[in-house]
Amino acid sequence: MGYAGTAPQVKTKLIPREVIFGNPVKASPKISPDGKQLAYLAPVKNVMNIWVETLGEKDDQPVTRDKNRGIHAFFWAQDSEQILYVQDTAGNENWRLYSVSLETKKVREFTPFKDVQIRILDYNKHFPNDMLLEMNQRNPSVHDVYHLDLPSGKLMLREENPGDVVDWITDNELKIRGKLTAREDGGNDLWIRETEKSEWIKLIEWNFEDSMLSGVFGFDKDHRFLYLRDSRTSNTAELAKMELTTGEQTTIAKDPEYDLGTVLIHPDTYEIQMVSFEKEKRAWEVLDPEIAADVKAIQKLAEGDFFILGRDNQLENWVVGFTQDDGPVSYYLYHAPSKKGTFLFTSRPDLQKYPLVKSEPITLTARDGLKLHGYLTLPSGMEPKKLPLILNVHGGPWARSTWGYDAEAQWLANRGYACLDINFRGSSGYGKDFLNAGNKEWGRKMHEDLIDAVEWAVQKGIADPKRLAIYGGSYGGYAALVGATFTPDLFRCAVSIVGPSNLVTFIQSTPPYWKNFLANIYKRVGHPKKDEEFLKSRSPLFKVDQIRIPVLIAQGANDPRVKQAESEQIVAAMKKKGIDHQYLLFKDEGHGFVRPANRLKFYGEAEKFLARHLGGRYEK
């Protein structure tokens, strides 16, 4: 079924997909601990690598030469002479740790273990040769703690996971002083000990309802207090300080509607300097008067919401980024002593040649009275009436969409579509009542929120009820399949990226290291044995015969979270029933598409698919 109407008359320039979805020109700048160098990510022969420059000099050069998937996460060693980074293989999320010497460009691998995932637990400026890692080498289901001596590369087991630890907590001297353990009811217990040889003492019990909103930031300088993220006494997650000897707890910062976001900690005093709350836009609350003038100076550097990527050890040079809805991310070097900033670069300068559009925060009421927040992005140069609309559903689902530059929203708006992004119940950031309102509501009330958002746009006259599509990745991919099966008459087509099709097999095939999170999943989604029929009733696979619209499915073959079988089984069912569909399998990808060629192929096919069924523009 193709689109038979007239394509939208968009007069703005068509933005090439390469400009939107290709590699950024530069990204993720980080200042060296000594404040003399800047590292960032940039392509070498279209593969993202680490580059370094001396501040004030034009001596930029790549220090890595990866030729495969590229490098996407890195950090400086405290000696400012080497950079560490993590990589997996073809998207399998079995991360390994590497370093590169700036002098010799020699790459060194610290964790050359097959089918083992490492996580960075802790490192700090006061112990430059030490790092704590978590690895599931001994048991794939749990992560033990290892000490890494950076000069020698020697790894030594520091703490064995007894089987229930989901998070290890270190003090300011890299001692393992706390642990968060999983409970059978889906909650977590916080345990603390005075020394690494002392007995564990249970300090806090977080029930299931609070478990996703709570945790530990660390100790104060004297190890007398713990900084907590806590929602036990309020609906939203707040920043609190607990005295260990008495258990007395005081609130430092909170918002009645929004959960606590980013926390900035002083690396020497260990005091909390400022915190953020992700409201319609990001809001910062300064707690340390010493940086109040810095924050004011930073806010004057550029438009948009700022975020901090790092500071040098003297806290003189800060790297800050700015995100805005109608422009690429821009980066600045801020000099605290002079209160002045220097522009570094934008991530995608070519975007500035094209007309980008605003993403407007919206609020609407669901059918049961629950308030929903989201963002609406409309095409430029078109009257906002009866537009083809794409409902873009975020992943997680325990995550949320935020204000700022959204590549997919800009892409869709440029092609002539209204893009609607709604934070449905079960999304994070709006307090525990809103988060827990999504429990066991996959395919039901969570989906009804999405439908209510679409109907809101139709009633406002913005969306054409005959030209609606549902699109998303991960949970959003599941939602797209639900849209095609549960409400097939509402949408004209659906695009599902790495989306579960059968909730029973999805939960049964999660990675082994999700073991301690399964009790939480059972309560929030369902138990694959005890709730088998219930889960099947919420699974698109078992309602394939209700599909009456074309479906595009994209999958990474090495995805450890949503296995290839999740896409394969619903594709096979659609094929058997002769349902119009398209299937894209990327053999060298995981939970999302990292390689530029794969990204561009997917978005090219998705763009063609949407244009065929909704009538939007397409870059040939």
Give the residue numbers annotated as catalytic, written as ranges: 474, 559, 591
- Report the alpha-carbon distance of residue 244 to residue 579 in Å, rounded: 61
Looking up tokens 């988060």 gives 435
- Report the alpha-carbon distance of residue 91 to residue 101 in Å, rounded: 26
- Report the alpha-carbon distance of residue 144 to residue 146 in Å, rounded: 7
Beta-strand pair 188-192/176-182? antiparallel
Q: Identify any residues that bridge with 264 across adjacent strands, giving them in sequence order.
A: 274
| Amino acid at site 158 | R
Neighbours of 244 (CB within 10 A): 17
- Report the alpha-carbon distance of residue 460 to residue 293 in Å, rounded: 44
Number of helices and strands in the chain (H, E): 12, 35
- DSSP string covering 282-309: EEEEE--GGGHHHHHHHHTTSSSEEEEE
| 65-82 burial: b if 16+ Cβ within 10 Å, else e | ebeebbbeebebbbebbb
Neighbours of 11 (CB within 10 A): 10
- Report the alpha-carbon distance of residue 424 to residue 393 in Å, rounded: 9
- Report the alpha-carbon distance of residue 102 to residue 99 in Å, rounded: 10
Q: Do 421 and 392 meet the contact criterion of CB atoms below 8 Å apart?
A: yes
Q: Do 501 and 509 meet the contact criterion of CB atoms below 8 Å apart?
A: no
Torsion of CA 337, 339, 342, 344, to 10 degrees: 80
- What SS3 state is found at 598? helix
**Residue 525, token pair as written in the block:** 């989604």
Backbone dihedral angles phi then psi of residue 545, each to the nearest 5 degrees: -65, -10
Backbone dihedral angles phi then psi of residue 339, each to the nearest 5 degrees: 60, 35
- Report the alpha-carbon distance of residue 499 to residue 481 in Å, rounded: 8
Looking up tokens 């009866």 gives 386
- Report the alpha-carbon distance of residue 26 to residue 33 in Å, rounded: 20
Taking Cα atoms as reference points, which of 153, 112, 152 lies closest to residue 135?
112
Can you say how many angstroms the Cα of residue 541 is from the centroid of all Cα atoms in its chain?
27
| Amino acid at site 387 | L
- What SS3 state is found at 496? strand
- Report the alpha-carbon distance of residue 442 to residue 426 in Å, rounded: 9
Can you say how many angstroms the Cα of residue 95 is from the centroid of all Cα atoms in its chain?
17
